């Protein structure tokens, strides 16, 4: 049995997992997207490093890189990740292994192994993470993102035969550049997707997309965007809407004909596109999109890939298996902040549900943190989905973000088809579908859609219980659920939650078994 440590080099948010411990600096530094810092992520067996030590152990890592005597180093990367990393970090890893940059995988489980180092292609890591966590015996697999390394889009059929779609379907590349062009930045494609609901199709933009993507993609084509696209004459929201239409047209043209299974696993940054994922459910009977679907899942995917090939294990990582923190009002950490108008008590789920029904905003911090960058009920902000003004209130007084960005409903799995037009549950907020009820305007986007999270009692019993109590009071089996943060990474530790609670219009903070209530609500909340 090989002991495995996996490393991914990229720019995104990471978290921790049971059995395989997974971490990146963003959650600890509190800098969104981690850009001022080098961007390592680690995944490894819990006995390799102490999971209670949240510091990235650079000295240990460097030694492990140079000579993993007691195990195997699994290594995956992106171009951006390699550029962001310190040269000494890669010393001993890539030295003498330059051929990895020319390595072309043919099947999902192909690998490159030399001198204790297991090299994994970026897209194979995506595919492995999605497929192994799905639990499917066989499946089609789509790995689609913006950059990767050599590839941008790969399709693996049920027999793991790969079709390279990078030149015909560089959708992530296109979204990244359109995000930059419209002022949202390289990592702002999600904002562009939210804006798309406010626009309409513009043939001018569609024809430009066709022109730009004709022939092999080169980075030099980026210059053509500013040359061709006139955003002073045409609206950003129309560009975004047209881009969404163009994306779906190309997916239908190039991906659908490759279908070999009734199951589909999707990963890579583009699979945060919930409209696309919902469309897949109309062609594939079972569609699985994991929670850490972007590069934040790379280290785990690399670990799972190596563990399967070398040890024969299909190691499924839990959705809620991060680090757990003890806290009570007697703990000094973060408590000397002058909350004179504050009282606390033991958690009363019925009381919290009533507060939500009365219009209060709740910070919800429970147990182990979620994987990925979606709040799935353990690091969440909760509110009443019936309130038509709640989106504007939270965006302006808590999240401090653009007013066009919607919020997701977390709905009891037993009732999701009563409110949404879809045929499959969506436990990770991975799909956007039509809303069929007028009762939930607070989580209904301007185009009549919502990115839902279905919650089962087996998945997260405490989160299900709070939704159920709200259901008993209001007759609506769901809550507005958004990530617990404000222009920062999702809160990880109790003191992160306390600080955000203090600095925003959140009315009540729940930390595990305790609730902390502001005696005087924020202006306008009464």
pLDDT tens-digit readout, 373-424: 789 999 999 999 999 999 999 999 999 888 889 999 999 999 999 999 999 9
The H or E element spanning position 466 is helix 461-474
Is the separation of the CB atoms in 129 and 301 below 8 Å? yes
- Asked which of 73-77, 267-271, 305-309 is least confident by mean pLDDT, the reply is 73-77
Which domains does the chain show, CATH number per domain? 4-135+294-311 (no CATH), 171-254 (no CATH), 342-518 (3.90.870.20)
pLDDT digits (tens, 9 = 90+) for 117-134: 677 778 888 999 999 999
Q: Residue 258 gets which letter from DSSP?
A: G
Contact at 8 Å (CB) between 479 and 428? no
Give 297's pLDDT tier (boundaries 50, 70, 90).
Answer: confident
pLDDT band at 96, cuts 50/70/90? very low
pLDDT above 50 (res 526): no
Q: Reduce the DSSP state of residue 394 to 3 states and report it.
A: helix
What's the half-sphere exposure (Cβ side, CA atoms, 13 Å) at 31? 10
Over residues 131-168, the pLDDT tens digits come to 999 999 999 999 998 766 566 789 999 999 889 898 88
Say which residue, 283 or 176, is predicted with more confidence: 283
User: Tokens for 433?
Assistant: 């579908």
The residue-averaged pLDDT of 105-127 equals 67
Task: Give me the sheet containing 478-483, strands edge to edge.
Answer: 342-346, 514-518, 508-511, 362-365, 379-383, 478-483, 408-412, 449-455, 431-435, 420-421
Mean pLDDT of 88-104: 44
pLDDT of residue 240: 95
CB 383 within 8 Å of CB 356: yes
What gap in Å lies between CA 161 and CA 3, rounded to an integer? 28
Task: Please tell me the distance from the alpha carbon of residue 43 to that of residue 46, in angstroms, as a whole number.
Answer: 9
Confidence of residue 13 (pLDDT cuts 50, 70, 90): very low
Q: Is 215 exposed, middle or buried (0-12, 13-18, 19+ CB in 10 A)?
A: exposed
User: d(Cα 130, Cα 515) in Å, to the nearest integer?
Assistant: 36
| pLDDT digit string, tens, across residues 431-481 | 999 999 999 999 999 999 999 999 999 999 999 999 999 999 999 999 999
pLDDT of 114 strictly over 90: no
Which pLDDT value is given to residue 34?
A: 47
Quote the percentage of the chain above a pLDDT of 90: 45
Report pLDDT for 317.
78
pLDDT band at 513 (very low <50, low <70, confident <90, very high): very high
For 516, phi then psi, to 5°, come to -120, 125
- Rounded-to-integer distance, Cα 371 and Cα 323, Å: 11
């Amino acid at each position: 049995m090989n002991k495995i440590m996996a490393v991914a080099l990229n720019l995104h948010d990471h978290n921790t997992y049971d059995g395989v411990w997974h971490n990146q600096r963003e959650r600890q530094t509190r800098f969104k997207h981690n850009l001022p810092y080098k961007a390592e992520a680690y995944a490894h067996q819990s006995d390799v490093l102490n999971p209670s030590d949240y510091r990235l152990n650079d000295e240990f890592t460097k030694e492990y890189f140079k000579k993993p005597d007691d195990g195997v180093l699994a290594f995956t990367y992106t171009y951006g990740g390699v550029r962001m990393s310190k040269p000494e970090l890669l010393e001993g890893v890539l030295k003498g292994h330059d051929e990895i940059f020319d390595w072309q995988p043919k099947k999902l489980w192909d690998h490159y192994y030399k001198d204790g180092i297991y090299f994994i292609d970026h897209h194979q890591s995506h595919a492995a993470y999605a497929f192994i966590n799905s639990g499917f015996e066989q499946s089609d697999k789509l790995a689609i993102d913006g950059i990767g390394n050599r590839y941008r889009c790969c399709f693996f059929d049920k027999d793991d035969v790969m079709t390279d779609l990078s030149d015909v379907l560089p959708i992530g590349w296109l979204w990244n550049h359109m995000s930059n062009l419209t002022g949202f930045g390289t990592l702002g494609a999600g904002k562009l997707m939210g804006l798309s609901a406010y626009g309409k199709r513009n043939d001018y933009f569609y024809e430009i997309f066709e022109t730009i993507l004709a022939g092999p993609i080169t980075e030099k084509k980026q210059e053509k965007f500013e040359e061709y696209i006139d955003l002073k004459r045409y609206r950003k929201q129309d560009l975004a809407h047209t881009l969404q239409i163009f994306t779906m047209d190309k997916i239908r043209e190039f991906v659908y004909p490759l279908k070999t299974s009734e199951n589909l696993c999707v990963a890579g940054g583009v699979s945060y596109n919930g409209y696309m994922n919902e469309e897949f459910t109309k062609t594939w009977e079972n569609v699985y999109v994991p929670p850490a679907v972007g590069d934040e899942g790379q280290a785990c995917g690399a670990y799972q890939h190596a563990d399967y090939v070398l040890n024969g294990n299909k190691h499924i990582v839990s959705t809620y298996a991060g680090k757990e923190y003890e806290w009570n009002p007697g703990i000094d950490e973060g408590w000397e902040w002058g909350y004179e108008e504050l009282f606390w008590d033991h958690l009363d789920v019925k009381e919290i549900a009533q507060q939500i029904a009365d219009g209060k905003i709740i910070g919800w911090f429970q147990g182990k943190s979620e994987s990925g960058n979606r709040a799935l009920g353990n690091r969440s902000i909760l509110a009443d989905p019936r309130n038509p003004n709640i989106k504007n209130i939270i965006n302006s007084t808590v999240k401090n973000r653009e007013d066009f960005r919607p919020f997701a409903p977390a709905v009891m799995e037993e009732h999701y088809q009563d409110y949404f037009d879809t045929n499959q549950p969506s436990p990770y907020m991975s799909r956007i579908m039509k809303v069929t009820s007028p009762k939930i305007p607070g989580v209904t986007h301007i185009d009549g859609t919502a990115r839902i999270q279905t919650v089962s009692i087996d998945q997260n019993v405490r989160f299900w219980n709070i939704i159920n109590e709200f259901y008993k009071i209001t007759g609506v089996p769901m809550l507005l659920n958004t990530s617990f943060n404000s222009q920062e990474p999702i809160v990880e530790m109790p003191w992160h939650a306390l600080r955000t609670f203090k600095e925003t219009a959140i009315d009540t903070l729940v930390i595990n078994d305790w609730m902390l209530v502001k005696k005087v609500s924020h202006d306008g909340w009464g």
